[in-house]
Amino acid sequence: MSRRTRVAIPIVLGALAALAVEIFDPEGPWLVLVLLGAAIALGELLELRPAGRAPLPLSYAFIVVLVRAGTPSQVLATAGAALAIAFVLRPEATLWRRCYTTAVRTAAVIAALVTYTVVMERVSIADERWLVLLALVAAGAAEIAASDLLTALSARHSAFATQGRTADLAIIASGALMAISLDGIGDRDGMGLWGPTLFAIPLLAAWFAFEQVAAIRRTHDQTIAALSVVPELAGLVRTGHAERVAALSERLGAELGFEHEQIAVLRSAALLHHLGHLCLDDDAERERPVEPWEVATKGAEILRQTEELTPAAAILDGSDTSVASHILRVASAYDELSEGDPSKRDAAIEALHLGPGYVYDVRVLAALERA
Amino acid sequence: MSATTVTHHFDRLTTFILVLTGATVALGLSLALGAPMPAVAQVAVFAALFALAENQVAVLPNRASASASFMLAMAAIVAFQQDGPALAALMVGLAGGLYWPHIRSGDWRKILFNASNFALSSCAAAVVFSPLVGHTGARASTVLLLASLPAALAFSVVNLVLLAVVVSLATATTFGETLRELRPRFVQILPFALLGVFMGRLYLDYGAIVIPLFVVPILVARQAFASYLALKDSHQATVRILIGALEAKDQYTAGHAERVADYAVMIGREMRFTTPRLERLRFAALMHDVGKLVVPNHLLNKPGKLTAEEFDIVRRHEAVSVEILTRIDFLKPVAPSATSEAHRMSEGADDADRPIEPFIVAVADAYDAMTSTRSYRKALPQEIAFEELRKNAGKQFHPKVVEALIASIERAGARHGAGFEEQPHAFAVEPPTVGTGSAGLGDLADARSAPAPHAEAAP
C-alpha cells in the first residue's frame, strides 16, 4: 500500500462515517467523535520526527481533544476504533512491531484519560477555564510521557533525551487549543468543528517542516554513502570496505562513550577515508606505491574545503586529538586484515596487537575485542 | 541612470512616504477622538507579536511575511471588536515598521513606509470587517469566517497598491508590472486570516493565556523550517565543493560539473520547472559525471583517439555514475541522465516514468564540452555549438531542450566558447581546433560512427 493510499483511507472512512451519522443520528454526539476518530487514525500515520527524539504522532494532539469531548467510554470506543484502523494501515513491517506500537498508543490514551479525569475531579481551581486548561495540558504531557517510557524499552531513543522536545510543546499546545475551541468552557461557547480544523493547520505545518528536515538529512547521508563507494568502484579497495569500516567505527565509538553527534562525524570520516585515493591514483610518473598517509592527507585536504566535513577531515589526518582518529585507524586496519570475513576476526585482532603501540591505541583494541 | 533622475526619484519617493505617514497619523488621531479607546496594554501585546512576526520574514517561504503578521491584525480586530477595532488595528499595524534590519541601518523611510502601510491596510480590514459582524458580538463562527474573507481582500488590496506605488517610484518598473508580480499574495493570506479571527475570538474568552498556546506550534514549525533551509544550504555547499575538489584531479575539466549544473538550471527555468524540481535537477547535474572519477587521468586527457580497450575503460564511467546516482533516493527518478541510453532521442514525453531531466543534463553536458577547450580540441565558438546542438536535435538531443538552452542563453546575452572561456588552460600539446566531441572523454566521434565491438556493451 502506498503512503498516499494509507493516508486517504482514514479520510474517506471518516467522511463516510460522518455522512452516516448525519443521516441516521444527527442529534447524538457521534459526529464529533467520528471525525476525531478519523483524525486520530490519520494522525497515527503523520509523525513529527525531530532529530534525536522518538517520532511523535500527530494523533496525540487529537487524543487530548477526544478526552475533553467524550465520556470515558466514548473516548475508549472511539480511540479503540481509530487505533484498529491505524493498525491495518501502519507502515511497520512486522506484525510484532505493529502490536507493540498499538499497545504504546493504547497506554497513551489511557494515560491522557486518567490524567484529565483526575485533574478535573481532584484539583480545585475557582476559575473553570484555568482548571480545564491545566487538565488538558497535563493530559497531553502524560500521554507523551507514557508513550516515551514504553517506546524507550524497545528502541535506541532514550526516554529522557532533551533533543527535539519542541515537538512535544507543539503537540500539547495544539491539543489544548483545539480542545477548548471545539466546545468552549463553561458559559463560553466553542466554535464547533471549525476550531480544531483551523488550529490543526500550524500542527500540520510543523509536521511538513519536520518531514522536509528528515528528507534532506536522508539525502545527505545517502550522498555521503554513495560517494564512499566510488573508490570501491574504481577498484582501489575491497567492495564494502567503506560501509564495514563505518559500521565498526560507530560500534567502537559507542563502546568508548561517544555522543550521538561525535558518532555521526566519525561515520562520515570512516565512509570517506579513501576518497583522497581517487585524486592520487594515476600519476603516470609515480615511482612508488600510494602510501596510506598520502590517501588520508589528500582526503582531509578535500573534506576540509567544506565547512560541514571539516571535523571529519581532522579525524582523517589525525589533527583531531580525541581517540576518534585511532578508532578509524584500527577499524580500517581490522577490515584490511580480516578481508571483510568474520571468520578471520581473531587472526586480525592478533595482528593488530602485534602492531606498534603508537599506531594502534590500546583502548580502541580493548573496545574492539569487546565489540 | 543619471544623477538627476536618482535625485528626482528620491524626492518623489520621500514625499510620498511623508504624505502617507501624515495621513496615517491624522487617521489615527481622528479615530482616537471620535471612538472608544482600546486598552493600550492589551493592544501592545498584539503589536509586539506583529513586530515579531515581521522579523521572521527571512526564513519564511515565498516572502509570506505579510500573511503571518496579518493574522495578528485580524486577531486584534476581533479581540477589540467592542472598543475601537479600527484604531486597534491601526496601532497594531504600526508595529510592522519595527523590522530589525531597517532599524539597525537607520533606514527611516522604510520604517515609516512599512509602519504606515501595515497600519492603513489593517485599518482597512477592520473597516470592512466590523459592519459585517455587526451586533452578533463577534462570536458566531460562521459569521466571523465569512466576514474575514472581504477583510483579507481589503487588507491585501491596500497593502499591494501602496507597495506597488513605492516600488514603482523607487525602481524603474511600472506600477502595473509590480502589481502583477505581487498579486499572488492574496491566496496566501486567506488561511492566516481565518486563523487570526479564531485567535482573536479565543482571546476574548480566555485572555492572554491562549497566546502561547497559539504561538508555540507556529514557532516550532518555523524553527523546523529554518533548520531545513540551513541543512539544505549546507548539503548543497558540501556536494558542490566535494565534486569540485574531486574533479580538480583532472585540471582540464575543472569546473565542468558546476557549469553543467548552471546550464541545466537555465534550461529548467526556461521550461518553467518548479523550485523543488530545479533543485533536484541542479543536484543531478552536479553528480552526473561522478563516475569519471574511476577513469585514470591519462585516459581522460589523452590527446587524439582512444584504442578500443581504452574506450572500454572510459565507457565504464557512465555505468558507475548511474550506480552512484541510484543510491540516492532523491535522484533515482532522474538517474538515467548518466547513461548513453538517455542521449538517444525518442519522443521523450515528460512524465513521471520518462522524466526529461536526463535529456537536459545531456544537452547541458554537451554544450559545456563543446564550449570548453579539451585535450583533443580547442573550444568551439558559441554559434558552432548551437549549430551542432540543432543539427543533432531529434537524434542525439531532445529538440525542446536544445531550443530552451539556446533561448535562455540568448536572452541572457551570455557568451561561451572560443574566446570567452573563463580560465583556458595551457596545454603541453596544443589541441587541434577542429572536431566536435562530447563530455571530455576523448574524441568519441569516430568510435561512434564505426562501432567498436565494446562501444554499445555498457548498460
Confidence at residue B135, expressed as pLDDT on a 0 to 100 scale: 60
A222 touches chain B (CB under 8 A): yes
Check whether residue A128 and residue A273 sit in a common domain.
no
pLDDT, mean of residues A91-116: 93
Residues on chain A touching B216 (C-beta within 8 angstroms): 169-170, 173
Lowest mean pLDDT among A27-36, A117-126, A165-174, B299-308: B299-308
Q: Which residue of A has its CA nearest to B202?
A: A181
CB of B214 within 8 Å of a chain A CB? The answer is: yes
A220 touches B at CB < 8 Å: yes
Among the partner-chain residues B195, B224, B327, the one whose CB lies closest to the CB of A209 is B224
The answer to whether residue A118 neighbours chain B at the CB level (below 8 Å) is no
CATH 1.10.3210.10 location in chain B: 248-449
Query: Which position has the grid cell 547535474?
Result: B285
Chain A CB contacts of B145 under 8 Å are 194
Interface test with B, best of A131, A194, A217 (most B CBs within 10 A): A194
Evaluate whether residue A219 is within a structural domain. no
Query: To the nearest whole angstrom, how far is the Cα of B215 from the nearest Cα of chain A?
Result: 9
Q: B96 to chain A, minimum CA–CA distance in Å? A: 22
Angstrom distance (rounded) from CA A342 to CA A268: 23
Note whether A208 and A267 are same-domain residues. no
C-alpha cell at A156: 535506541
Residue contact A279–B237, C-beta within 8 A: no
Do A49 and A184 belong to one domain?
yes
Q: Is residue A111 part of a domain?
A: yes
Residue where one domain finishes, among candidates A214, A238, A260:
A214
Do A185 and A62 share a structural domain? yes
Complex ipTM:
0.83
Phi-psi region of B61 (alpha: psi -120 to 50; beta: other; left: phi over 0): beta
Q: B248-449 maps to which CATH number?
A: 1.10.3210.10
Residue A48 has what DSSP assignment? E
Q: How far is B122 from chain A (nearest CA, A)?
A: 21
Domain end (from A214, A248, A265): A214
Residues A47 and A99 in one domain: yes
The distance of A39 to chain B (nearest Cα, Å) reads: 18
A251 and A338 share a domain? Answer: yes
Mutation target vs B (from A171, A232, A282; most B CBs, 10 A cutoff): A282
Q: Residue A223: inside a domain, yes or no? A: no
Contact yes or no for B405/B363 (Cβ under 8 A): yes
Chain A CA closest to residue B59: A209
A263: domain CATH number is 1.10.3210.10
SS3 A110: helix
Structure confidence at residue A271 (pLDDT): 93
Query: Does an H or E element contain A185, and which?
Result: strand A184-185
A235 and A186 within one domain: no
In chain A, % of residues over pLDDT 90: 42
Give the distance from residue A363's alpha carbon to the nearest chain B alpha carbon, in angstroms.
33
Check CB contact of B276 with chain A, cutoff 8 Å.
no
Q: Are A107 and A179 in the same domain?
A: yes
Q: Which residues of B385-402 are buried (b: 16+ CB within 10 A; e: fewer)?
A: bbebbeebbeebbbbbbb
Which B-chain residues 413-442 have CB contacts (< 8 A) with chain A?
none
The reply to whether A48 and A98 lie within a common domain is yes
In contact, B291 and B300? CB cutoff 8 Å? no
Answer whether A285 touches B (CB < 8 Å).
no
The CA distances from residue B17 to A44, B21, B92, B241, B316, in Å, are: 52, 6, 19, 46, 65
Domains in chain A, number: 2
Q: Flag if B241 and A219 touch (Cβ within 8 Å).
A: no
Tell me, yes or no, whether A98 lies in a domain: yes
More reliable by pLDDT, A237 or A290: A237
Look at residue A220 and tell me if it is in a domain.
no
pLDDT digits (tens, 9 = 90+) for A301-359: 888 888 888 998 999 888 877 888 888 888 888 888 888 778 887 888 888 878 776 67
Q: Are A66 and A36 in contact (CB under 8 A)?
A: yes
Using the Cβ of A121 and the Cβ atoms of chain B, whether some distance falls under 8 Å is answered with no
Distance CA B168, CA B19 (A): 17
In chain B, residues with a C-beta closer than 8 Å to the C-beta of A234 are: 293-294
Q: What is the pLDDT of residue B437?
A: 43
Task: Tell if the CB–CB gap between A230 and B225 is shorter than 8 Å.
Answer: no
* Binary contact (B217, A215; C-beta < 8 A): no
Q: Is residue A185 located within the same domain as residue A263?
A: no
Do A89 and A186 sit in the same domain of this protein? Answer: yes
Q: Is residue A105 one of the residues assigned to a domain?
A: yes
Grid cell 574545503 in the structure block, residue: A305
Best A201, A218, A309 residue to mutate vs chain B (most B CBs within 10 Å): A201
pLDDT at A99: 93
**Per-residue model confidence (pLDDT) at position A110:** 97
Return the higher-pLDDT residue of B362 and A282. Answer: B362
> Using a CB cutoff of 8 Å and minimum separation of 24, what contacts does B207-210 make?
B208/B45, B209/A130, B209/A133, B210/A177, B210/A180
Residues of chain B with pLDDT under 70: 1-10, 57-67, 135-139, 182-186, 251-252, 301-304, 336-353, 375-376, 418-419, 422-459
Asked whether the beta carbons of residue B290 and residue A225 sit closer than 8 angstroms, the reply is: no
Q: Identify the domain boundary among A181, A214, A247.
A: A214
Same domain, A65 and A205: yes
**Owner of C-alpha cell 497535563:** A138
User: Least CA distance to B222: which residue of chain A?
Assistant: A206
User: Which range marks the domain in which residue A54 is found?
Assistant: 3-214
What share of chain A has pLDDT > 70, as a percent? 95
What local confidence, expressed as pLDDT, does residue A284 receive? 55
Q: Could you write out the three-class secondary structure of chain B? A: CCHHHHHHHHHHHHHHHHHHHHHHHHHHHHHHHHCCCCCHHHHHHHHHHHHHHHCCHHHCHHHCHHHHHHHHHHHHHHHCCCCCHHHHHHHHHHHHHCCHHHHHCCCHHHHHHHHHHHHHHHHHHHHHHHHHHHHHCCCCHHHHHHHHHHHHHHHHHHHHHHHHHHHHHHCCCCHHHHHHHHCCHHHHHHHHHHHHHHHHHHHHHHHHHHHHHHHHHHHHHHHHHHHHHHHHHHHHHHHHHHHHHHHCCCHHHCCHHHHHHHHHHHHHHHCCCCHHHHHHHHHHHHHCCHHHHHCCHHHHCCCCCCCHHHHHHHHHHHHHHHHHHCCCCCCHHHHHHHCHHHHCCCCCCCCCCCCCHHHHHHHHHHHHHHCCCECCECCCEHHHHHHHHHHCECCCECHHHHHHHHHHHHHHCCCCECCCCCCCCCCCCCCCCCCCCCCCCCCCHHHHHCCCCCCCCCC
Paired sense of beta strands A47-48 and A56-57, if any? antiparallel
Please give the average per-residue pLDDT across A233-247, as a whole number. Answer: 88
